[in-house]
Amino acid sequence: MTRPTISIRGVDVFEAYLSPPEQQALVEDLRAVIRQAPLFSPVTPGGRRMSVRMTSAGRYGWVSDRSGYRYASHHPDGDAWPPIPERVLAVWRDLVSPERAPDCCLVNWYDEGARMGLHQDRDEADFGWPVLSLSLGDEGLFRIGNTTRGGKTESIWLRSGDVLRMGGEVRLVYHGIDRVKPGSSTLLPRGGRINLTLRVVD
């Protein structure tokens, strides 16, 4: 059983869970995912283009357009999402459960200047399972708040190889990425940050 290195507001942090060679292998897996399911810039229901580019693997992918946020069984291009890489599933089995696989592996790609505002993850039908997040590449400043909007927040830098687990009470807290620190990792040749978010959807 792997234990968290720190816990912040109920978020379990596994610092440097992935070794540099494991991180490199994951990046190769993700290149194959992105070849099959290209990154796209989601548009919010309000009509704004998100600064983060995304794609997904698994039974469902997360999409957003003028008609709203939702899980969809196909990429906006029309193809089914590729399977979640085995190496990613192995992390889920170790830190969440071998009993149930995640339905969705959301791939978020941040370049310099990309951010993700404070939000809740509440498009899933089942909040009983934890969410697992894997960080790769440049460091990202992660901010965590409360289950309602407003109030005090806390921030931590997420580094390449760090894994976060959000289960129980914190599953519905507001969270986001304020900024990415360019040049803070050599994992990705052109820089940037990748986050993988694993979720059970239904």
How many chain residues interact with ligand MD3 (CB under 6 A)? 17
CB closer to ligand MD3 out of 82 and 162: 162
| Contact assessment for residue 30 and residue 194, using Cβ atoms and an 8 Å cutoff | yes
- Count of beta carbons in the 10 Å neighbourhood of residue 133: 22
Among 133, 138, 185, 198, binds ligand MD3 (CB under 6 A): 133
Q: Is 91 in the site for ligand MD3 (CB under 6 A)?
A: no
Q: Is 134 in the site for ligand MD3 (CB under 6 A)?
A: no
CB closer to Fe ion out of 22 and 121: 121
Q: Cβ of residue 113: shortest distance to ligand MD3, in angstroms? A: 15
Which listed range, 14-22, 70-78, 149-157, 168-176, lies at the site for ligand MD3 (CB under 6 A)?
Answer: 168-176
Q: Is 65 in the site for Fe ion (CB under 5 A)?
A: no
- Count of beta carbons in the 10 Å neighbourhood of residue 126: 11
> How far, in Å, CA of 57 to CA of 107, rounded?
8
Say which residues have a Cβ less than 8 Å from residue 71's Cβ, sequence separation at least 6: 60, 61, 62, 63, 103, 104, 123, 124, 201
> How far, in Å, CA of 139 to CA of 137, rounded?
7
Say which residues have a Cβ less than 8 Å from residue 156's Cβ, sequence separation at least 6: 8, 13, 141, 142, 144
Q: Cβ of residue 82: shortest distance to Fe ion, in angstroms? A: 22
The residue number whose beta carbon is nearest to ligand MD3 equals 195
Residue with tokens 């599953």: 171
Q: Which residues bind ligand MD3 (CB under 6 A)?
A: 11, 106, 108, 116, 121, 131, 133, 140, 164, 166, 170-171, 173, 175, 177, 195, 197
Q: Which residues bind Fe ion (CB under 5 A)?
A: 121
